[in-house]
Structure 1
Amino acid sequence: MNRYQANNVNSAHQNSGFTNQNAKYKDKNVKSKNKTYFINELPTKIKYEIALIGRSNVGKSSLLNSILNEKTSRVSKKPGCTRWLGYYDFENVTLIDLPGYGYANVSKKQEALITVMVQKYILCGRIDELWILIDSRRGIMGLDIELINFVVNNDIPVKIISTKIDKKESKIIDANFRVSSKTKEGIHEIIDYIKHI
């Protein structure tokens, strides 16, 4: 069965067992930053909303930190560190940090609940663009294709972000943006895109 196939979303979400945890940070470039496990606790949508998602350990947290120019998103070599919806509120755009998928360091039950949370967000009508991050060393894999098909079938605009392009093993991927959080290559293009939405 498709991992992202809609089924009994509300019931699974209500029984998730997750407790609400919010965290706020100070930053002159971002008006507010928070995280939550619950869709209904996201702030009222009044801005263009871009969500970021990708396989666990694809470099999503590093990319967010590069965009924000500070370490506010946890970076780890251990897959599956992001397990909530993080939101970063700019003047004209809100960035949503979604949990990764595939090889997450969580139990099967938690992984299923995280999938429901992500699926519910994608289908809730808020999202304007979904950025799918692809590790340039591995290319587009099965779960990536599954997710791409799911969002395209739900008429959600998608952009592909090729990450870790500084690595020797990196491959050329047909992508909207090619970035390295280590060398900062491609980061300016993403920031410029966000500024001009």
Structure 2
Amino acid sequence: MDRTLIVLVMPKSIQFIKSAVLAKDYPVHNMAEVAIAGRSNAGKSSFINTLSKNKIAKVSATPGKTRLLNFFNMEDSYVLTDMPGYGFAARSGDELREWQRMIETYLSVRENLRGLILVMDIRRSWTEDEEIMKRFSEREGFPLAVVLSKADKLSHSQKLQAIAKIKKATGLSAVFATSALKKDGGEEVERYIFENWIKE
């Protein structure tokens, strides 16, 4: 496909569809879905707003506010599913178990899921929490891409070092640096997922 055509058909805005917890409440459609995961303070909502060129995802000063699966229509090109963040210590044991059931159910049963975007603060190292998400994606057979958010916090050389570090730790080639503040990197991520996960 011609690159100019790809840019033209890529989504430019997002429409919120609905929130859900149980599989029976997931939206019904025939589009591919891309899930987005990350720590509670990784910058997932800011990244979604970067993709949409709009403040459709609420950015909270308090990490861990998202409790549901939130589905967004990317201009009828695909659906983005924002999953509740992990690593929020203030949640109770019951909440953590509910979160785990909700996430594992979605990732296991959603037939039109095409890939998972894992958002990380670029200043953090790869940890066991991220490794669990990677192993889960491998087990379920869908691809994983890593988005390193808040890239404006580092110099250009530091940013390149951070990307190389995550690539080495994960063995993944799909690692991207983004900045919601500078509105940078989102188009590269979207082009990648469109070309590799969506258009087929």
Amino acid aligned to 1:178: A
1:189 aligns with 2:188: yes
- Over residues 39-72 of structure 1, what are the superposed CA-to-partner deviations in whole Å (9 max), with x where a residue is unaligned? 2111224111100001111000100111112222
Amino acid aligned to 1:190: V
Correspondent of 2:147 among 151, 158, 161:
161
Correspondent of 1:100 among 68, 85, 89:
85
User: Which residue does 1:139 correspond to in 2?
Assistant: 125
Structure 2 SS opposite 1:129: strand
Q: TM-score, normalised on structure 1?
A: 0.78
Q: TM-score, normalised on structure 2?
A: 0.77
Q: What are the ranges of 5 or more consecutive residues in structure 1 without an aligned counterpart? A: 1-27
Tell me how far 1:180 sits from its aligned partner.
0.8
The answer on whether the counterparts of 2:40 and 2:63 sit within 8 Å (CA) in structure 1 is yes
The answer on whether the counterparts of 2:16 and 2:56 sit within 8 Å (CA) in structure 1 is no
| Pairwise CA RMSD | 2.1
Q: What are the ranges of 5 or more consecutive residues in structure 2 without an aligned counterpart? A: 1-11, 168-173
Higher helix share: 2
Tell me how far 1:111 sits from its aligned partner.
1.7
Q: Distance in 2 between matches of 1:142 and 1:180?
A: 24
Q: Indicate the percent of aligned positions where both proteins have the same amino acid.
A: 29
Correspondent of 1:57 among 41, 62, 76:
41
Correspondent of 2:53 among 69, 74, 94:
69
Q: Distance in 1 between matches of 2:128 and 2:119?
A: 14
Q: How many residues align?
A: 170
Structure 1 segment 5-44 matched on structure 2, within 5 A: 29-44=13-28
